[in-house]
Amino acid sequence: MFDRKQLVNAISQQETPVYYYDLSLMQQTLKTAKRAADVHSFHVHYALKANFNERILKLIRDAGIGADCVSGNEVRKAIEIGFHPSDIVFAGVGKSDREIRDALSHDIFAFNVESIQELKVINTLAAAQGVKARVALRINPNVDAQTHHYITTGLDENKFGIAHWQLGDAVETLSQSEHLELIGIHFHIGSQITDLNVFKSLCVKVNELNNWFDERGFRLRVLNVGGGLGVDYHEPDAHPIPDFSAYFSVFADFLERKPGQEVHFELGRALVSQCGSLISRVLYVKHGLKKNFLILDAGMTELMRPALYQAYHQIEKLDTGEGTGHDAELQRYDVVGPICESSDCFGKEVLLPSCERGDLIAIRTAGAYGEVMASRYNLRDEIRYLYSSAPVDVSAD
Protein backbone atom coordinates (compact mmCIF):
# COMPACT_ATOMS: atom_id res chain seq x y z
CA MET A 1 0.00 0.00 0.00
CA PHE A 2 2.99 2.29 0.55
CA ASP A 3 3.34 3.40 -3.06
CA ARG A 4 7.02 4.30 -3.31
CA LYS A 5 6.93 5.17 -7.00
CA GLN A 6 4.08 7.61 -6.62
CA LEU A 7 5.78 9.09 -3.59
CA VAL A 8 9.16 9.53 -5.26
CA ASN A 9 7.50 11.26 -8.23
CA ALA A 10 5.49 13.53 -6.00
CA ILE A 11 8.43 14.41 -3.83
CA SER A 12 11.09 15.07 -6.45
CA GLN A 13 10.35 18.80 -6.57
CA GLN A 14 9.45 19.10 -2.89
CA GLU A 15 11.50 20.56 -0.13
CA THR A 16 12.20 18.15 2.67
CA PRO A 17 11.68 17.18 5.43
CA VAL A 18 8.02 16.64 4.76
CA TYR A 19 5.27 14.57 6.32
CA TYR A 20 3.65 12.37 3.73
CA TYR A 21 0.13 11.15 4.45
CA ASP A 22 -1.47 8.34 2.51
CA LEU A 23 -5.11 9.39 2.65
CA SER A 24 -6.41 6.31 0.83
CA LEU A 25 -4.84 4.04 3.42
CA MET A 26 -6.28 6.31 6.07
CA GLN A 27 -9.77 5.86 4.65
CA GLN A 28 -9.36 2.09 4.47
CA THR A 29 -8.17 2.06 8.05
CA LEU A 30 -11.08 4.15 9.26
CA LYS A 31 -13.58 2.07 7.37
CA THR A 32 -12.13 -1.16 8.77
CA ALA A 33 -12.15 0.19 12.33
CA LYS A 34 -15.67 1.55 12.07
CA ARG A 35 -17.06 -1.67 10.64
CA ALA A 36 -15.36 -3.78 13.29
CA ALA A 37 -16.78 -1.52 16.03
CA ASP A 38 -20.25 -1.45 14.50
CA VAL A 39 -20.47 -5.25 14.73
CA HIS A 40 -20.70 -4.80 18.51
CA SER A 41 -22.43 -1.38 18.49
CA PHE A 42 -19.30 0.15 20.04
CA HIS A 43 -18.70 3.91 19.92
CA VAL A 44 -15.30 5.07 18.71
CA HIS A 45 -13.75 8.44 19.48
CA TYR A 46 -10.50 9.54 17.89
CA ALA A 47 -7.82 10.87 20.24
CA LEU A 48 -6.90 14.15 18.54
CA LYS A 49 -3.62 14.26 20.39
CA ALA A 50 -2.26 11.62 18.00
CA ASN A 51 -2.58 13.94 15.01
CA PHE A 52 -4.72 17.04 14.55
CA ASN A 53 -3.85 17.71 10.92
CA GLU A 54 -7.07 19.10 9.40
CA ARG A 55 -7.16 16.87 6.31
CA ILE A 56 -6.94 13.86 8.60
CA LEU A 57 -9.52 15.17 11.06
CA LYS A 58 -12.00 15.70 8.25
CA LEU A 59 -11.65 12.12 7.07
CA ILE A 60 -12.15 10.91 10.62
CA ARG A 61 -15.25 13.08 11.07
CA ASP A 62 -16.63 11.77 7.75
CA ALA A 63 -16.05 8.19 8.88
CA GLY A 64 -18.58 8.73 11.68
CA ILE A 65 -16.02 8.63 14.49
CA GLY A 66 -16.25 10.97 17.49
CA ALA A 67 -13.51 13.03 19.15
CA ASP A 68 -11.47 12.56 22.32
CA CYS A 69 -9.79 15.80 23.40
CA VAL A 70 -7.25 16.65 26.07
CA SER A 71 -7.20 20.42 25.89
CA GLY A 72 -9.60 23.27 25.34
CA ASN A 73 -7.96 23.93 21.99
CA GLU A 74 -8.55 20.35 20.91
CA VAL A 75 -12.23 20.71 21.87
CA ARG A 76 -12.42 23.91 19.81
CA LYS A 77 -10.62 22.30 16.90
CA ALA A 78 -12.98 19.31 16.96
CA ILE A 79 -15.98 21.63 16.87
CA GLU A 80 -14.45 23.77 14.15
CA ILE A 81 -13.89 20.67 11.99
CA GLY A 82 -17.50 19.66 12.49
CA PHE A 83 -17.47 16.92 15.10
CA HIS A 84 -20.82 17.08 16.86
CA PRO A 85 -20.51 18.19 20.51
CA SER A 86 -22.48 15.10 21.51
CA ASP A 87 -19.59 13.01 20.11
CA ILE A 88 -16.85 14.85 22.01
CA VAL A 89 -15.26 13.72 25.27
CA PHE A 90 -12.72 15.79 27.19
CA ALA A 91 -10.03 14.16 29.35
CA GLY A 92 -6.85 15.40 31.02
CA VAL A 93 -5.47 15.66 34.55
CA GLY A 94 -5.13 19.43 34.44
CA LYS A 95 -8.13 21.07 32.80
CA SER A 96 -8.04 24.82 33.38
CA ASP A 97 -11.12 26.81 34.39
CA ARG A 98 -11.21 28.48 31.00
CA GLU A 99 -11.08 25.13 29.22
CA ILE A 100 -13.87 23.74 31.40
CA ARG A 101 -16.08 26.81 30.86
CA ASP A 102 -15.55 26.59 27.12
CA ALA A 103 -16.40 22.90 26.97
CA LEU A 104 -19.47 23.47 29.14
CA SER A 105 -20.69 26.16 26.79
CA HIS A 106 -20.42 23.69 23.90
CA ASP A 107 -22.39 21.07 25.85
CA ILE A 108 -19.94 18.28 24.98
CA PHE A 109 -20.89 14.66 25.60
CA ALA A 110 -18.76 14.14 28.71
CA PHE A 111 -15.86 15.28 30.84
CA ASN A 112 -13.60 12.40 31.81
CA VAL A 113 -12.82 13.58 35.32
CA GLU A 114 -9.51 12.71 36.88
CA SER A 115 -9.80 13.85 40.52
CA ILE A 116 -12.30 14.69 43.23
CA GLN A 117 -11.08 18.28 43.24
CA GLU A 118 -11.83 18.50 39.53
CA LEU A 119 -15.39 17.24 40.17
CA LYS A 120 -15.90 20.12 42.58
CA VAL A 121 -14.46 22.69 40.18
CA ILE A 122 -16.62 21.50 37.27
CA ASN A 123 -19.69 21.55 39.53
CA THR A 124 -18.97 25.16 40.57
CA LEU A 125 -18.33 26.32 37.00
CA ALA A 126 -21.42 24.50 35.68
CA ALA A 127 -23.51 26.11 38.43
CA ALA A 128 -22.24 29.54 37.38
CA GLN A 129 -23.37 28.85 33.81
CA GLY A 130 -26.66 27.33 34.98
CA VAL A 131 -25.94 24.01 33.25
CA LYS A 132 -25.40 20.41 34.21
CA ALA A 133 -22.15 18.69 33.18
CA ARG A 134 -22.12 15.05 32.16
CA VAL A 135 -19.13 13.38 33.73
CA ALA A 136 -17.41 10.02 33.56
CA LEU A 137 -14.99 9.16 36.35
CA ARG A 138 -11.56 8.25 35.06
CA ILE A 139 -10.48 5.45 37.33
CA ASN A 140 -6.92 4.26 37.64
CA PRO A 141 -7.34 0.47 37.52
CA ASN A 142 -3.74 -0.42 38.36
CA VAL A 143 -3.34 -2.62 35.27
CA ASP A 144 0.11 -2.91 33.73
CA ALA A 145 -0.07 -2.10 30.01
CA GLN A 146 3.27 -3.87 29.36
CA THR A 147 4.51 -0.98 27.26
CA HIS A 148 7.15 1.74 27.56
CA HIS A 149 7.02 3.30 31.05
CA TYR A 150 6.60 6.81 29.59
CA ILE A 151 3.33 5.76 27.96
CA THR A 152 1.95 3.66 30.80
CA THR A 153 -0.92 5.48 32.46
CA GLY A 154 -2.96 2.99 34.48
CA LEU A 155 -0.67 2.11 37.40
CA ASP A 156 -0.94 3.40 40.97
CA GLU A 157 2.31 5.32 40.46
CA ASN A 158 0.89 7.27 37.50
CA LYS A 159 -0.71 10.69 37.85
CA PHE A 160 -3.83 9.75 35.91
CA GLY A 161 -7.33 9.05 37.15
CA ILE A 162 -8.99 8.55 40.51
CA ALA A 163 -7.59 5.76 42.67
CA HIS A 164 -10.04 2.95 43.47
CA TRP A 165 -9.72 3.69 47.20
CA GLN A 166 -11.03 7.22 46.57
CA LEU A 167 -14.22 6.10 44.86
CA GLY A 168 -16.31 6.35 48.03
CA ASP A 169 -15.35 10.02 48.36
CA ALA A 170 -15.97 10.60 44.65
CA VAL A 171 -19.48 9.17 44.92
CA GLU A 172 -20.11 11.28 48.01
CA THR A 173 -18.99 14.40 46.13
CA LEU A 174 -21.23 13.51 43.20
CA SER A 175 -24.25 13.16 45.47
CA GLN A 176 -23.63 16.69 46.73
CA SER A 177 -23.09 18.18 43.27
CA GLU A 178 -26.33 19.31 41.67
CA HIS A 179 -24.63 20.38 38.48
CA LEU A 180 -22.99 17.05 37.71
CA GLU A 181 -24.54 14.00 36.14
CA LEU A 182 -22.52 10.81 36.40
CA ILE A 183 -22.89 9.00 33.09
CA GLY A 184 -20.07 6.50 33.24
CA ILE A 185 -16.61 5.32 34.09
CA HIS A 186 -13.48 5.82 32.03
CA PHE A 187 -10.13 4.07 31.77
CA HIS A 188 -6.98 4.43 29.72
CA ILE A 189 -4.08 2.27 30.76
CA GLY A 190 -1.44 3.12 28.18
CA SER A 191 -0.46 3.27 24.58
CA GLN A 192 1.18 1.01 21.96
CA ILE A 193 -0.26 -2.09 23.62
CA THR A 194 0.40 -5.12 21.45
CA ASP A 195 -0.57 -7.91 23.84
CA LEU A 196 -4.36 -8.16 23.71
CA ASN A 197 -4.32 -10.04 27.05
CA VAL A 198 -3.67 -6.68 28.67
CA PHE A 199 -7.11 -5.58 27.51
CA LYS A 200 -8.63 -8.74 29.02
CA SER A 201 -7.15 -7.73 32.38
CA LEU A 202 -8.63 -4.28 31.88
CA CYS A 203 -12.06 -5.81 31.21
CA VAL A 204 -11.88 -7.73 34.49
CA LYS A 205 -11.26 -4.46 36.38
CA VAL A 206 -13.99 -2.63 34.48
CA ASN A 207 -16.48 -5.38 35.32
CA GLU A 208 -15.59 -5.21 39.02
CA LEU A 209 -16.03 -1.44 39.07
CA ASN A 210 -19.19 -1.55 36.98
CA ASN A 211 -20.67 -3.88 39.63
CA TRP A 212 -19.40 -1.63 42.42
CA PHE A 213 -21.40 1.30 41.02
CA ASP A 214 -24.41 -0.87 40.24
CA GLU A 215 -24.52 -2.15 43.84
CA ARG A 216 -24.64 1.47 45.00
CA GLY A 217 -27.57 2.30 42.78
CA PHE A 218 -25.71 4.07 39.95
CA ARG A 219 -26.94 2.97 36.54
CA LEU A 220 -23.97 3.83 34.38
CA ARG A 221 -24.73 4.50 30.75
CA VAL A 222 -21.15 4.52 29.51
CA LEU A 223 -18.14 2.28 29.91
CA ASN A 224 -15.25 4.11 28.26
CA VAL A 225 -12.21 1.86 27.98
CA GLY A 226 -9.86 4.40 26.36
CA GLY A 227 -7.44 3.61 23.58
CA GLY A 228 -4.02 2.02 23.43
CA LEU A 229 -4.15 -0.46 20.56
CA GLY A 230 -0.63 -0.78 19.18
CA VAL A 231 0.64 -0.87 15.62
CA ASP A 232 3.44 -2.75 13.90
CA TYR A 233 6.42 -0.38 13.76
CA HIS A 234 8.69 -3.19 12.58
CA GLU A 235 6.69 -4.34 9.57
CA PRO A 236 4.44 -1.52 8.40
CA ASP A 237 3.92 -3.06 4.97
CA ALA A 238 2.89 -6.43 6.38
CA HIS A 239 0.39 -4.82 8.79
CA PRO A 240 -0.75 -1.49 7.37
CA ILE A 241 -4.10 -1.81 9.16
CA PRO A 242 -4.23 -3.01 12.77
CA ASP A 243 -6.41 -5.97 13.64
CA PHE A 244 -9.40 -4.01 14.87
CA SER A 245 -11.67 -7.08 14.80
CA ALA A 246 -9.48 -8.97 17.24
CA TYR A 247 -9.20 -5.91 19.46
CA PHE A 248 -12.93 -5.18 19.66
CA SER A 249 -13.71 -8.89 20.08
CA VAL A 250 -11.75 -8.93 23.34
CA PHE A 251 -14.10 -6.31 24.76
CA ALA A 252 -17.17 -7.97 23.26
CA ASP A 253 -16.16 -11.25 24.90
CA PHE A 254 -14.86 -10.08 28.25
CA LEU A 255 -16.79 -6.93 29.12
CA GLU A 256 -20.01 -7.62 31.02
CA ARG A 257 -22.29 -4.92 29.74
CA LYS A 258 -25.44 -4.27 31.72
CA PRO A 259 -28.66 -3.67 29.79
CA GLY A 260 -28.49 -0.45 27.80
CA GLN A 261 -24.84 0.23 28.55
CA GLU A 262 -22.72 1.75 25.81
CA VAL A 263 -19.05 0.93 25.30
CA HIS A 264 -16.81 3.78 24.15
CA PHE A 265 -13.24 3.73 22.86
CA GLU A 266 -10.63 6.44 22.36
CA LEU A 267 -8.25 5.26 19.68
CA GLY A 268 -5.41 7.44 18.49
CA ARG A 269 -2.33 5.67 17.19
CA ALA A 270 -4.10 2.70 15.63
CA LEU A 271 -6.18 4.94 13.37
CA VAL A 272 -3.44 7.13 11.94
CA SER A 273 0.09 5.77 12.48
CA GLN A 274 0.64 3.70 9.39
CA CYS A 275 -0.73 6.41 7.11
CA GLY A 276 2.13 8.80 7.79
CA SER A 277 5.82 8.78 6.91
CA LEU A 278 8.45 11.40 7.47
CA ILE A 279 10.36 11.91 4.24
CA SER A 280 13.82 13.33 4.42
CA ARG A 281 16.90 13.83 2.24
CA VAL A 282 20.42 12.79 3.05
CA LEU A 283 22.49 15.91 3.59
CA TYR A 284 25.81 14.30 4.29
CA VAL A 285 27.36 10.87 4.63
CA LYS A 286 30.04 10.88 7.26
CA HIS A 287 32.44 7.98 7.50
CA GLY A 288 33.82 7.69 11.00
CA LEU A 289 36.39 5.35 12.50
CA LYS A 290 33.77 3.15 14.10
CA LYS A 291 30.60 4.27 12.40
CA ASN A 292 29.07 5.67 9.28
CA PHE A 293 26.60 8.45 9.85
CA LEU A 294 23.78 9.35 7.57
CA ILE A 295 22.93 12.95 8.34
CA LEU A 296 19.38 13.77 7.34
CA ASP A 297 17.58 17.07 6.93
CA ALA A 298 14.92 15.77 9.37
CA GLY A 299 15.64 15.60 13.07
CA MET A 300 14.09 15.07 16.47
CA THR A 301 12.32 18.39 15.88
CA GLU A 302 10.15 16.68 13.25
CA LEU A 303 9.87 13.26 14.89
CA MET A 304 10.64 13.12 18.56
CA ARG A 305 9.65 9.52 19.36
CA PRO A 306 13.07 7.88 18.88
CA ALA A 307 14.81 10.50 21.05
CA LEU A 308 12.13 10.52 23.74
CA TYR A 309 11.13 6.86 24.00
CA GLN A 310 13.97 5.15 22.13
CA ALA A 311 11.14 4.20 19.78
CA TYR A 312 11.82 2.09 16.72
CA HIS A 313 10.67 3.34 13.31
CA GLN A 314 11.48 1.51 10.13
CA ILE A 315 13.88 3.54 8.02
CA GLU A 316 14.16 2.93 4.31
CA LYS A 317 15.88 4.41 1.33
CA LEU A 318 13.45 5.35 -1.42
CA ASP A 319 14.54 4.02 -4.76
CA THR A 320 14.65 6.89 -7.22
CA GLY A 321 14.89 4.45 -10.11
CA GLU A 322 18.57 5.14 -10.71
CA GLY A 323 19.80 1.78 -9.59
CA THR A 324 20.54 2.84 -6.05
CA GLY A 325 17.68 0.95 -4.44
CA HIS A 326 17.17 -2.36 -2.74
CA ASP A 327 19.47 -4.38 -4.97
CA ALA A 328 22.45 -2.21 -4.01
CA GLU A 329 25.10 -3.26 -1.52
CA LEU A 330 23.97 -2.82 2.10
CA GLN A 331 25.81 -0.59 4.55
CA ARG A 332 25.38 0.09 8.26
CA TYR A 333 24.56 3.64 9.23
CA ASP A 334 23.63 5.56 12.32
CA VAL A 335 20.80 7.64 10.91
CA VAL A 336 20.85 11.02 12.62
CA GLY A 337 19.36 14.50 12.31
CA PRO A 338 20.97 17.95 12.23
CA ILE A 339 19.92 19.04 15.73
CA CYS A 340 22.57 19.85 18.33
CA GLU A 341 21.75 16.92 20.60
CA SER A 342 23.29 13.47 20.64
CA SER A 343 19.83 12.01 21.20
CA ASP A 344 18.89 13.30 17.74
CA CYS A 345 19.18 9.84 16.26
CA PHE A 346 16.50 7.90 14.34
CA GLY A 347 18.27 4.57 14.42
CA LYS A 348 21.63 3.00 15.12
CA GLU A 349 23.36 0.47 12.88
CA VAL A 350 20.57 0.62 10.32
CA LEU A 351 21.17 -1.55 7.27
CA LEU A 352 20.48 0.41 4.10
CA PRO A 353 21.54 0.34 0.48
CA SER A 354 24.59 2.54 0.10
CA CYS A 355 23.49 6.18 0.34
CA GLU A 356 24.74 9.48 -0.95
CA ARG A 357 23.88 13.13 -0.62
CA GLY A 358 20.40 13.88 -1.96
CA ASP A 359 18.96 10.39 -1.49
CA LEU A 360 15.44 10.18 -0.14
CA ILE A 361 14.80 8.40 3.15
CA ALA A 362 11.40 7.41 4.53
CA ILE A 363 10.83 7.04 8.27
CA ARG A 364 7.70 4.97 8.51
CA THR A 365 4.72 4.67 10.85
CA ALA A 366 4.97 8.33 11.77
CA GLY A 367 1.31 9.34 11.41
CA ALA A 368 0.67 9.32 15.17
CA TYR A 369 2.58 11.43 17.69
CA GLY A 370 4.87 12.66 14.95
CA GLU A 371 3.83 15.99 13.49
CA VAL A 372 1.95 16.92 16.69
CA MET A 373 5.05 16.53 18.85
CA ALA A 374 7.25 18.56 16.52
CA SER A 375 9.03 21.58 17.90
CA ARG A 376 10.79 24.66 16.56
CA TYR A 377 13.94 23.92 18.61
CA ASN A 378 16.98 25.35 16.78
CA LEU A 379 14.42 27.62 15.06
CA ARG A 380 13.57 24.90 12.59
CA ASP A 381 11.14 25.42 9.71
CA GLU A 382 7.40 24.85 10.12
CA ILE A 383 6.31 21.32 9.25
CA ARG A 384 5.57 20.68 5.56
CA TYR A 385 3.01 18.19 4.27
CA LEU A 386 2.34 16.15 1.22
CA TYR A 387 -0.78 14.04 0.72
CA SER A 388 -1.31 11.01 -1.46
CA SER A 389 -3.64 11.50 -4.42
CA ALA A 390 -7.18 12.55 -3.47
CA PRO A 391 -8.82 9.92 -1.32
CA VAL A 392 -11.06 7.55 -3.16
CA ASP A 393 -14.70 7.20 -2.26
CA VAL A 394 -14.73 3.94 -0.39
CA SER A 395 -18.26 4.28 0.93
CA ALA A 396 -19.66 2.25 -1.97
CA ASP A 397 -17.60 -0.93 -1.67
What stretches of the chain adopt beta strand conformation (E)? 18-21, 43-47, 66-69, 88-90, 110-113, 133-140, 162-163, 180-186, 222-224, 262-267, 276-287, 292-296, 315-318, 330-336, 345-353, 360-363, 385-387
Q: Rounded to 5, what percent of the chain is helix, strand, coil?
A: 35, 25, 40
> Using the rule CB under 6 A, which residue among 191, 280, 301, 365 binds ligand LLP?
191
Binding status of residue 136 toward ligand LLP by CB under 6 A: no
Binding status of residue 276 toward ligand LLP by CB under 6 A: no
**CA distance linking residue 331 with residue 355, whole number of Å:** 8
Binding status of residue 250 toward ligand LLP by CB under 6 A: no
Residues in a beta bridge with 319? none
**CA distance linking residue 242 with residue 33, whole number of Å:** 9
> Using the rule CB under 6 A, which residue among 152, 173, 192, 292 binds ligand LLP?
192
**CB distance 311 to 366 below 8 Å:** no
Q: C-beta of 18: minimal distance to ligand LLP in Å?
A: 20
Query: For ligand LLP, which stretch binds (CB under 6 A), given 80-88, 117-125, 222-230, 240-248?
Result: 222-230
**CA distance linking residue 5 with residue 23, whole number of Å:** 16
Q: C-beta of 107: minimal distance to ligand LLP in Å?
A: 21
Interface mask toward ligand LLP for 43-62; x: CB under 6 A = ----x-xx------------
Half-sphere exposure of 170 (CA within 13 A, CB side): 26
How many residues bind to ligand LLP according to rule CB under 6 A? 23
**CB distance 368 to 309 below 8 Å:** no
Interface mask toward ligand LLP for 281-320; x: CB under 6 A = ------------------------x---x-----------
Binding status of residue 365 toward ligand LLP by CB under 6 A: no
Pairing of strands 345-353, 180-186: unpaired
> Using the rule CB under 6 A, which residue among 269, 313, 364, 380 binds ligand LLP?
269
Q: Which is nearer to ligand LLP, 135 or 368 (CB)?
A: 368
> Using the rule CB under 6 A, which residue among 72, 141, 228, 391 binds ligand LLP?
228
Sign of CA dihedral 164, 49, 369, 395: positive
Binding status of residue 264 toward ligand LLP by CB under 6 A: no
Among the listed residues 365, 378, 384, the one whose alpha carbon sits nearest the alpha carbon of residue 299: 378
> Using the rule CB under 6 A, which residue among 267, 335, 355, 374 binds ligand LLP?
267
Binding status of residue 188 toward ligand LLP by CB under 6 A: yes
Binding status of residue 185 toward ligand LLP by CB under 6 A: no
Q: C-beta of 271: minimal distance to ligand LLP in Å?
A: 8
Q: C-beta of 283: minimal distance to ligand LLP in Å?
A: 25
> Using the rule CB under 6 A, which residue among 91, 185, 298, 318 binds ligand LLP?
91
Residues in the chain: 397
First to last CA, the chain: 18
Residues in a beta bridge with 294? 285, 335
Binding status of residue 391 toward ligand LLP by CB under 6 A: no
Which residues lie near ligand LLP (CB under 6 A)? 47, 49-50, 68, 91, 151, 153, 188, 191-192, 226-229, 266-270, 305, 309, 368-369
